[in-house]
Amino acid sequence: MLKLCARAKFKKKSCLFKLFNVKLCYKIAIGGETMYCRECGEMYFNDKAVICVKCGVEKGKGKKYCPECGNSIPNPKSEVCLSCGVSLKREREIQTTQTSSNPKSKVAAALFAFFLGTIGIHRFYLGYTVLGIIYIVLFILGFLTLGITWIIAGIWAFIEFILILCGVIKDVNGDPLS
């Protein structure tokens, strides 16, 4: 959906008309999502775009430009854009809720590690399939080594059980367990 807006501080490359020293610009209103690329400051002309066509960064990612006005942000940790006054903290909260839509349970991961840790079920649950397969290989090798690799996998799983309870181990996306 396109809206016509009049603001004094738009970049020249995003403006289509200039009339009486007020720049009339097309502004894309996408239901609270970003209107400018946060990485390069380029305006999104297609509301269905998932990446910026100029820099290739996923929509909503980046910290260099304001998503509302497209002006550069001098400090990436700023909570408010100094040009238009929009809260950048809200944009970061939207990004984190979009990335962590399905948080993993710390209790479930800990129980999997404690009871089924020697076969790596907790690692499959957290999304680490390669480590889960390593656990399964150690479990199968336990039949050939008379249980020596079972002991190794059991100690390893118990250490990871403690690390899960302490919050050190996160899921495959880097999100903390809830």
Residue 106: CB atoms within 10 A of its CB come to 16
**pLDDT for res 101:** 62
CA distance 70 to 103: 32
What integer pLDDT is reported at residue 90 of this predicted model? 55
Residue 91 clears pLDDT 60, i.e. is over it: no
Tokens 């909570």 found at = 79
CA 98, distance to chain mean position in Å, is 7
**pLDDT tens digits for range 65-85:** 888 888 888 887 778 888 888
Sign of the dihedral defined by the CA atoms of residues 154, 156, 158, 164, in that order: negative
* Residues facing 25 on adjacent strands: 5, 15
**CB-facing half-sphere around the CA of 44: CA atoms within 13 A:** 28
The SS3 call for residue 51 is strand
Question: What SS3 state is found at 83?
Answer: coil
Task: Give the pTM.
Answer: 0.48
pLDDT at 11 over 70: no
- Where exactly are the structural domains of the chain? 1-99, 106-166
- Secondary structure E strands in the chain: 2-7, 15-19, 22-28
* Inter-residue contact 61 to 94 (CB < 8 Å): no
Rounded Cα distance between 126 and 50, Å, is 27
Q: Which pLDDT score, from 0 to 100, does residue 67 have?
A: 80
